[in-house]
Amino acid sequence: MEKIRLSKLMSQRGLCSRREADRYIERGWVFVDGERITELGTKIYALQEIKLDNSAQAQQANRVTVLLNKPVGYVSSQPEPGYQPAVRLVNEESRFRGDQTSQHFSPMHLKGLAPAGRLDIDSSGLLVLTQDGRIAKSLIGAESGIEKEYLVRIQGNLSKHGLGLLHYGLSLDGQPLKRAAVVWQNQDQLRFILREGKKRQIRRMCELVGLKVTGLKRIRIGRVKLGDLPVGKWRYLGDCEEF
């Protein structure tokens, strides 16, 4: 049986991200079959037991995840010329007054806060920003199958054949897309449910069937809904909420 890099295996098991794993190993916070591991690059067998030190578990427990209703005009991560990253909207003043969590805002919550998935500059709705590598991996990892739901306003005429292609049969970047759920919401709006997130996927899918997207809003990721969160406001992910 071939050995696997410890940090990779920790990430695969959902213990943390690979970067976090390396940090924990350096600090002596990782045990394999009861033995403390401190050497980066250590390889182990897939069936060996991995445990985190209480210090690592406590650090993970203190990490926050933020739900933001991103307005049009903000980019998810790297700022483009003339635009600001969505994380700039996360401050004490813009917190949603209806936030039901007891978490007190701290500037430390902005450290390492990164988007778990993209939402285009001309799209709005639910954007997840997190300090927790486990949540990021569950949402954007290669094996993630978490549903993402969108309301999409369109222009153009869509045939039954075109609607069928939106469900299944289209390819982007030379690869077939996973099966999607697409239904009419009203006369000029479609509801999309996807289990993947290629760059500008919905807009490109619509172009392939002769439609133009004039508005796009994400309203759900997994079991977490945008709900009544106002545009430009944010709240903490609650302790009882899971994607």
pLDDT at 144: 78
pLDDT tier, 111 (very low <50, low <70, confident <90, very high otherwise) = confident
Mean pLDDT value across residues 87-99: 95
Mean pLDDT value across residues 149-158: 96
pLDDT at 1: 83
Mean pLDDT value across residues 162-173: 95
Q: Is the pLDDT of residue 79 over 70?
A: no
* CA–CA dist 189, 171 (Å, integer): 22
**What are the tens digits of pLDDT across the range 1-24?**
899 999 999 888 878 878 889 989
Q: Could you tell me which of 158, 205, 208 has the C-alpha nearest to residue 184?
A: 158
Residues in Cβ contact with 223 at an 8 Å cutoff, skipping those fewer than 6 apart? 241, 242, 243
pLDDT at 65: 95
Instruction: Point out the least confidently predicted range of 43-52, 57-66, 191-200.
Output: 57-66
So which residues are the catalytic ones?
A: 120
Alpha helices in the chain (DSSP H): 6-12, 18-26, 54-61, 133-140, 160-167, 201-208
State the sign of the Cα–Cα–Cα–Cα dihedral 208, 211, 214, 215. negative
pLDDT at 66: 96
pLDDT at 85: 92
pLDDT tier, 142 (very low <50, low <70, confident <90, very high otherwise) = low
What are the structural domains of the chain? 4-61 (3.10.290.10), 65-142+224-236 (3.30.70.580), 148-221 (3.30.2350.10)
